Amino acid sequence: MTAALESRVNPASDYEALIEFLYLTPVGIIKFRPDGRIEMANAAAAQLLMPLAADRDLSDLYRVFSSTAPDLRARIERFQASYGQICEQVQLAVPGTRTVLTLGINKIDPDTLMAVIEDITRAIEQETRIRDDQQRFRAIFENVRDYAIFTVGLDGRIDEWNRSLSRLGGWEAVDVAGAPIDILFPSGQAGKPCGAALLDRTRQHGTAEFEGWGVRKDGSAFWGNTVATALPDREGRASGYVLVTRDLTERKQMEDRLVALATTDPLTGAYNRRAGEARLAEAFRSWQFHGRMFTLLMIDCDHFKDVNDRWGHDAGDEVLRALVRICGENTRATDVTIRWGGEEFLLLQPETSCETALVVAERLRLAIEAAKIASYGGAITVTVSIGVANANKADAGADDVVRRVDRALYRAKGAGRNQVVAG
């Protein structure tokens, strides 16, 4: 055997290294006899055992554990095998302190036993804090009333939810467990469904927000705000999502009422002039920068003063309301009716050529002429004169289009009224 090989397998050297390791390890290690006599204990074991020894005598393991593990001797004596594990991770509370130890004992041979002792106080306290935090979170999660809280897996399916999801949308466990998140949002929308799009943004940015329409179980809609946050795994990648939704329907309704008050003519329900001018400016920018044609119809009730004089102002109001209603019934949802002043109205038709607008104007003229407008004095019939003009490249702004359609209206009135003229 060479000298190098001898140095690697030197029993004395290996024993010294083992003893040094045992003394330096932070876990308490004790070698003792079946009668409890301690033959060896490392520094960590001595430090952990000292508070348990009333007389500070660490020579007898059974006496040290007499108050915390009085059955230790009996347990060891009952173990009849010549070697093996006698107990593992038995928890022991140190009297008068918050310290908790674990004790494990192995039989090495009939005359030798090894004990491993470890202080797990911090681990127990951490587990207690985690458990308490979980219980507090669960209490909040289950009982918060104004917010629906639910978790979603990476596959976009709902995992857990709180009872507010039932209060918010009438959903029950059987309805949402494992269901895709998109059941909570309206279907048939353009592009990716709102729920899936929200999770995509959350995956990219860590958090994302959506405010818009949600769906209740009965199919009715509510206006809500949803904040989604990614739940990271140990590597920082999203392992799922938590979503918090609040019902803002009442706020939305209030905002809509305020917007309506600010933009709507209170008599007819048409846009008021200020809001109408904003829509005209928007339409002109769309034409100017994107080439999206729009056409204007200016509608004036013929001999409206005679209606007021003969039937009264209440009847005149009914006539104006009827004109706006008939415009709505004979145009698209994207068309905008504006009360421009008195008995004059503008009809803004986006994405519409002058030729198409002339057809619409004639249809409106005939519908108004045929209408029987109810009033306290009887049925009223009226006619309208209509001017038509669309945007062109010579226009510097929406006002130029309005001036042309206004001139076209007056040509219609000058030509005998109850007709349509293009400008």
Question: Bigger pLDDT: 9 or 304?
Answer: 304
With a cut of 80, say whether residue 130 has pLDDT above it: no
Domain count, the chain: 3
Q: Minimal CA–CA distance to 224: which of 153, 273, 176, 169? A: 169
Q: Are residues 214 and 298 in the same domain?
A: no
* Range of weakest confidence among 19-28, 104-113, 333-342: 19-28
Residue 130 lies in a domain: no
Q: Are residues 175 and 111 in the same domain?
A: no
Residue 411 lies in a domain: yes
Q: Are residues 191 and 88 in the same domain?
A: no
CATH of the domain at 319: 3.30.70.270
Q: Are residues 229 and 269 in the same domain?
A: no
| Range of the structural domain that residue 232 is part of | 144-252
Residue 178 lies in a domain: yes
CA 343/CA 339 separation, integer angstroms: 8
Residue 358 lies in a domain: yes
Beta partners for 212?
Answer: 224
Q: Are residues 327 and 364 in the same domain?
A: yes
With a cut of 70, say whether residue 137 has pLDDT above it: no
CA 23/CA 16 separation, integer angstroms: 11
At 6 the pLDDT is 47
Residue 158 lies in a domain: yes
Name the pLDDT band for 251 (thresholds 50, 70, 90). Answer: confident
With a cut of 90, say whether residue 342 has pLDDT above it: yes
The alpha carbon of residue 224 and the mean position of all alpha carbons in its chain are separated, in whole angstroms, by: 9
> At which of 63, 88, 122 does a domain end?
122
Q: Are residues 323 and 372 in the same domain?
A: yes
With a cut of 90, say whether residue 106 has pLDDT above it: yes
Q: Are residues 238 and 299 in the same domain?
A: no
Residue 185 lies in a domain: yes
Q: Are residues 245 and 284 in the same domain?
A: no
- Using DSSP's 3-state secondary structure scheme, residue 418 falls into coil
> At which of 122, 154, 189 does a domain end?
122
CA 339/CA 123 separation, integer angstroms: 74
Name the pLDDT band for 190 (thresholds 50, 70, 90). Answer: low
With a cut of 60, say whether residue 111 has pLDDT above it: yes
Average pLDDT for residues 349-365, to the nearest whole number?
Answer: 95
Q: Are residues 417 and 276 in the same domain?
A: yes
Q: Are residues 411 and 298 in the same domain?
A: yes
Both tokens of residue 157?
Answer: 């399916």
Using alpha carbons only, give the angle 71, 76, 77 rounded to the nearest 5 degrees: 100
Residue 127 lies in a domain: no
Distances (CA, A) of 108 to 35, 114, 130, 309: 14, 7, 38, 118
Question: Bigger pLDDT: 272 or 186?
Answer: 272
Q: Are residues 113 and 191 in the same domain?
A: no
Give DSSP secondary structure letters for 244-282: EEEE-HHHHHHHHHHHHHHHB-TTT-SB-HHHHHHHHHH
Q: Which of 116-120, 247-251, 296-300 has the highest mean pLDDT?
A: 296-300
Name the pLDDT band for 128 (thresholds 50, 70, 90). Answer: confident
Beta partners for 238?
Answer: 232
At 1 the pLDDT is 42
Q: Are residues 53 and 197 in the same domain?
A: no
Name the pLDDT band for 3 (thresholds 50, 70, 90). Answer: very low
CATH of the domain at 63: 3.30.450.20
Work out the number of other CB atoms within 10 angstroms of the CB of residue 356. 15
Give the tens place of pLDDT for each residue, 9-66.
Answer: 565 565 566 566 666 678 899 999 999 999 989 989 999 998 888 788 899 999 999 9
With a cut of 50, say whether residue 407 has pLDDT above it: yes
What mean pLDDT value characterizes the chain?
Answer: 87
- Using DSSP's 3-state secondary structure scheme, residue 145 falls into coil
CA 295/CA 197 separation, integer angstroms: 36
With a cut of 70, say whether residue 370 has pLDDT above it: yes
Phi, psi of 189 (to 5 degrees): -85, 155
Residue 134 lies in a domain: no
